[in-house]
Amino acid sequence: MTVTIDGMQINYQSTGAGEALLFLHGWGSSLEVFNRMIRPLAAYFRCIALDLPGFGKSDMLPRPFTLQDYCDVVKKFIDALGLRDPVMIGHSNGGRITLQMCASGMVHPKKIVLFGSAGIRSKRTCKQKLRLASFKTIKRVLTLPVIKRYTGDLLAAARNHYGSADYNAAPPVLRQTLVNLVNVDLRDRLHQITASTLLIWGENDTETPLAHAKIIEQNIPDCGLCVIPNGSHFCFVEYPGQVDAILNSFLGVTD
């Protein structure tokens, strides 16, 4: 199914009936990452998952997006489908979008579930600062007006050397979008979230470390953290039985 938001075709799926659960995937992923989780939940809830713009089967972004741009699209999607205060379930960047929307009052869910949520900016190590400074110096030289027309390949090589895997794998419009997103730190806004919040985190998550989960837990007034032993950034895929039991308890599934 598709719906048009701001001129973009947004792909989504809706399964089941009852109280709405809205699933937001992470960077570089798609709604399909939630398919296994949704199947049993659809017996009790209406489960809606969308491909965020730039991913899955939805249209590519017309320009680099900010976090607020993504929030605006999700809000318009909620309105277009007539959803009323859906439970928000987000992974990674989907969690970052959820946190921003809830903290700013764009949505008022009774419950939030976050898996390995982004939104807390890590302090850069000395090595990371040095790499960033090196890249900025190289970029500044290679984009000087007198040589810019000859240095495209060199600049691309520098980006590949200094950039992250996600950055290097993305087309230019998503590269700038990724930069916009990772520079956001939401920790000072978390106290504004009133929804009952469940954090499910992999013990060995290297993308959004467990330390980030503890910051979120400490700053959202009604928040609990469940850690999946040995779990990674995709602990909900790796340990479905444990995650399903935690989710069912939080969402009130009694069968």
Query: In this predicted model, what pLDDT tens digit does every residue of 12-41 receive, in sequence order?
Result: 999 999 999 999 999 999 999 999 999 999
- CB atoms under 10 Å from CB of 117, counted, come to 28
pLDDT digits (tens, 9 = 90+) for 72-82: 999 999 999 99
Which DSSP helix (H) or strand (E) runs through 201? strand 196-202
Instruction: List the domain boundaries for the chain.
Output: 2-121+185-251, 126-180
Nearest by Cα to 77 from 27, 20, 5, 13: 5
- Rounded to a whole number of angstroms, the CA Rg of the chain reads 19
Instruction: Tell me the three state secondary structure of residue 193.
Output: coil
Q: Is there a contact between 13 and 37 (Cβ–Cβ < 8 Å)?
A: no
DSSP letters of 122-152?
PPPPHHHHHHHHHHHHHHHHHT-TTTGGG-H
Phi, psi of 92 (to 5 degrees): 55, -115
pTM > 0.75: yes
Most confident of 153-157, 193-197, 250-254: 193-197
Q: State the fold for domain 2-121+185-251.
A: Rossmann fold (3.40.50)
**The dihedral sign for the CA sequence 35, 72, 213, 192:** negative
